[in-house]
Chain A
C-alpha cells in the first residue's frame, strides 16, 4: 500500500520518516516479506530517539507517527515481527528496552485490529513481565524516560489484556483442543490474577505513590524522604499513579468495591497535577470510581464525579476528533456514564447541571420517563448499558463452577436490583411530597393508598437513603425535596429553585460562535465551478 499523501505537505517531524522515500514503494525485505521504506525509516528513527532518550521526539513519534502508520500500512495486518525489526534497527540484544517496547506496540496492535492467538497472549504476557521487571528490579532508577501517554497506555493495555484473557477462558465452547492443552500445560500461570495485581501493587509501592499523594493533599513539597529514590523520577511516579488507577479498574471489575475505593483514598479527582496528565486516565478513573460509589449507593459522589468529567469531555471534544479510535472509546464512556447518571438521578433527588441534564434527556430521556411511570425493568437496561465488563478472578473450564451460569455480571446485577427494590416506594413517594406542603400521616396514607404505618416507615426510609446517597460529596448540590416529621405532621420544604439559564446560555453562545466561523470560512474559500463539458 503506497503512501498516498504528499510528503512535502507533512509536518517536518513526519517528513523525516520519508527521507529517501522519493521511491515511496521501496521496501526492505525481511522474513515476513517486504517492509515499506517509510516504515523502516520510522523504526530506525524511533530506535534512535529511544536509545538517545530524546523524549520530545519519542512523544511525537508515539502520539502521531505510530498511529498514522498503523492506519495506512497495517490496517488489517500486524506490524513487522519483532525478529525482522531487530534486524532493521541492527540491535543484537533482543531483551533491550527498545525491543521490549516494540513488542508491546506489536501485540497491542494485534489485540486492537486483529484477533490474538493463544500464543500471542502468552508471548505478550511474557513481554509485560519483562517490561515491568526492567522497571522494578533495577537497583537504581532506570535512565529511560517515556511519554506519559505511553505509560498510561501500557498500564491500560495490561489490564485490558488480562480482562480479554479471562473472557476468552470463560467461553469454554470456543476453545479448541490444542488451545485447551496449551492452557493445561501452562506452568507459568500466564495472566494469573494474583500476578497482575502483584505487578500493579509493586509499581505503586516502588514510588511510594500514596505517601506522595498525601503530601500533595497537604500542600507539602515532594521530597526524596517521602517519595524515595525511585519515586523522585517521573517515570516511576507517573507509572505508580497510573497503576493506582489500573488497580481501581481491576478491583471494580472483580466486584470488590471496598478495595477499589481504598486504592483511590488519597487521590484528588480535581487535581491538576497527576490526574490531568493524560485525559484517557482521567476519564477512566472517574468512570470506575463513580461506578463503585453507585454500587455502594453513594449517589452524591457518583453525580459529583460524573458531572465534572462529562463537562470536561464536552469542553475537550475537539481534541479527540482527529483520533478516531480514541474518540470511539471516549464516546463509549460518555454513553455509559450518562446511563449510570440517569440511574443515580432517579435514586437521589439532587439537581444536575443543565448541560448534563440536556445530554441525559437526549440519550436516556425515554428510559427515565418510563421509570417515572413505574417501569422498573428499565433499570436492567440502564445497568447493562452503563456497567463495565465484570470478571471473576477464577475461570474454570468447568461451566458448573461455584460462580454459576449467571456470570460475574449477573451477580452484580443482583446486588443492584436489591437497591432498585428498596428504592421502589421512594420514587413513588417523592411525587406526592413534591405536590403537598404540610400533611398528616393519615392524609398521606390516603393519597398513597398505603397503611399509616407503612407511610411512617417510608418517611424514615426516604431520609435514610438520602443520607447514605449524600456520601461525602462536597459539591453544593441541592435537594429538591426535604421534610421532617413532628409527631403526626409532616412538614415539607418549599424550596424555590430559580431557573438556571447559565449553562444553556453559554452553550448557545458557543454554538453561534461555531456557526459564525463556518459561515465566514465558507465565504472566504473560492468556489471552483466543476468542469462541465
Chain B
C-alpha cells in the first residue's frame, strides 16, 4: 500500500522527533534514516529543520561517519534552510560546518546565494541560481524564495512599481504575478502595486525618557 506523501511525512517526522529525544539525537546509527528523511523532504517539498540540523551535528560529533557523499547531504541541508528565510535556519546550519565542508565549491556557491538573499539583491539571485541544478531539483525552492521576497517588499514599500516587482520575483509571467498579488491581498493599480500603509512608521515621534523605578530607587533612599 502506497501512502500519500503527507502521511509519510507525518510518520517520519514523528519517528525523527522520538529518536532525537535527549541524547538519542547523537546516535550515529540513525544517520541513514535522517538522510533518507532529508531526501524525502527535498523531493516532496516538506521541511523538518531540527532533523536536518541533526545530520550536521552527527557529522560534527562523529567525523568517522563522513564519507565522500556526505558533502551532498550538507548541501541539501543548507539549501533547504535557505528556503526558510527570514528565519535563522541557515545560520544555525552554517555554524556547524567543518572547514572542509566550508571550502567545498558548491558550499561557497550556496553561501554566496545566501548573501545575495540577505542583501536583497534579488535580480542577481535569480541569475545565479540558474547555474546550479541543486536548486531546480529542490521542490518548492523558487516558491519559498518568492515568499521571502514578498515579505521584504511588504516591510519596505507602500507602493511599488509593477515592472520592478516582476523583476524582483524572477521575471515571472503575468498570470503568476497576478496570482501572487491576489494571495498577498495587495492592490494592483495600473503600473504599480499597493502593498500597505506605512505612514505611521515615519510619523514624527518624540521619544520621551522613561525611567524605571529601579534606576531611581538608589537616590530616593538618600537621607
Contacting chain A: which of B5-13, B89-97, B139-147, B174-182?
A: B89-97
Contacting chain A: which of B36-44, B112-120, B129-137?
A: B112-120
A529 at the interface (CB under 8 A from B): no
C-alpha gap A201/B95 in the complex (Å): 22
B57 in contact with A256 (CB, 8 Å) = yes
With A201-B22, A295-B91, A418-B94 known to touch, is A496 a contact of B158 (CB < 8 Å)? Answer: no
B26 at the interface (CB under 8 A from A): yes
Distance (Å) between the CB of B82 and the closest chain A CB?
13
| Residues on the B chain within 8 Å of A461, using CB | 118-121
| Residues on the A chain within 8 Å of B155, using CB | 460, 463-464, 467
With A295-B91, A402-B100 known to touch, is A460 a contact of B57 (CB < 8 Å)? Answer: no
B207 at the interface (CB under 8 A from A): yes
B198 at the interface (CB under 8 A from A): yes
Provide the main secondary structure of the chain B interface.
helix
| Residues on the B chain within 8 Å of A300, using CB | none
Interface flags for B156-168 (1: CB within 8 Å of A; 0: not) read 1111110010000
Distance (Å) between the CB of A487 and the closest chain B CB?
5
Please pick, from A414, A478, A484, the residue contacting B198 in the complex, using a CB distance under 8 A. Answer: A484
| Residues on the A chain within 8 Å of B161, using CB | 487-488
Distance (Å) between the CB of A195 and the closest chain B CB?
9
| Residues on the A chain within 8 Å of B206, using CB | 495-498
C-alpha gap A506/B63 in the complex (Å): 55
A296 at the interface (CB under 8 A from B): yes
B158 in contact with A486 (CB, 8 Å) = yes
C-alpha gap A395/B140 in the complex (Å): 39
A415 in contact with B119 (CB, 8 Å) = no
A495 in contact with B119 (CB, 8 Å) = no
Contacting chain B: which of A128-136, A141-149, A329-337, A404-412?
A: A404-412
C-alpha gap A250/B53 in the complex (Å): 17
| Residues on the B chain within 8 Å of A463, using CB | 152, 155-156
Distance (Å) between the CB of B137 and the closest chain A CB?
25
C-alpha gap A295/B96 in the complex (Å): 12
| Residues on the B chain within 8 Å of A453, using CB | 123
With A197-B23, A456-B164 known to touch, is A506 a contact of B207 (CB < 8 Å)? Answer: no
With A201-B23, A415-B95 known to touch, is A497 a contact of B207 (CB < 8 Å)? Answer: yes
Please pick, from A351, A468, A485, the residue contacting B156 in the complex, using a CB distance under 8 A. Answer: A485
A468 in contact with B86 (CB, 8 Å) = yes
Q: How many A-B residue pairs have CB under 8 A?
A: 179
B23 in contact with A258 (CB, 8 Å) = no
| Residues on the A chain within 8 Å of B119, using CB | 422, 425, 457-458, 461
A500 in contact with B209 (CB, 8 Å) = yes
A205 at the interface (CB under 8 A from B): yes
B61 in contact with A394 (CB, 8 Å) = yes
With A194-B61, A464-B155, A484-B157 known to touch, is A510 a contact of B164 (CB < 8 Å)? Answer: no
| Residues on the B chain within 8 Å of A351, using CB | 207
Please pick, from B23, B66, B102, B210, the residue contacting A414 in the complex, using a CB distance under 8 A. Answer: B102
A411 in contact with B219 (CB, 8 Å) = no
Q: Which residue of A lies closest to B57 (CB)?
A: A256
A367 at the interface (CB under 8 A from B): no
Please pick, from B26, B88, B99, B201, the residue contacting A406 in the complex, using a CB distance under 8 A. Answer: B99
Q: Which residue of A lies closest to B211 (CB)?
A: A502
B1 at the interface (CB under 8 A from A): no
A460 in contact with B120 (CB, 8 Å) = yes
B96 in contact with A255 (CB, 8 Å) = yes
Q: Which residue of A lies closest to B102 (CB)?
A: A414
Residues 446-464 of A contacting B (Cβ, < 8 Å):
453, 456-461, 463-464
C-alpha gap A249/B217 in the complex (Å): 33
| Residues on the A chain within 8 Å of B63, using CB | 394, 396, 401-403
Residues 73-105 of B contacting A (Cβ, < 8 Å):
86, 88, 91-92, 94-100, 102
B contacts, CB < 8 Å to A: 22-23, 26, 50, 53, 57, 60-63, 66, 86, 88, 91-92, 94-100, 102, 111, 114-115, 118-123, 152-153, 155-161, 164, 192, 198-199, 201-211, 215-216, 218-219, 222
- 24 CB contacts below 8 A, A to B, read A205-B22, A254-B60, A257-B95, A394-B60, A402-B66, A402-B99, A411-B97, A411-B99, A414-B102, A418-B94, A418-B114, A425-B119, A457-B119, A460-B153, A468-B88, A484-B157, A484-B199, A487-B192, A491-B199, A493-B205, A494-B204, A500-B209, A502-B211, A506-B218
Closest 8 A-B residue pairs measured CB to CB? Answer: A404-B99, A484-B198, A460-B120, A493-B202, A461-B120, A296-B88, A258-B92, A463-B155
A256-B57, A297-B91 given. 5 additional CB < 8 A pairs?
A198-B23, A393-B61, A484-B198, A495-B204, A496-B206
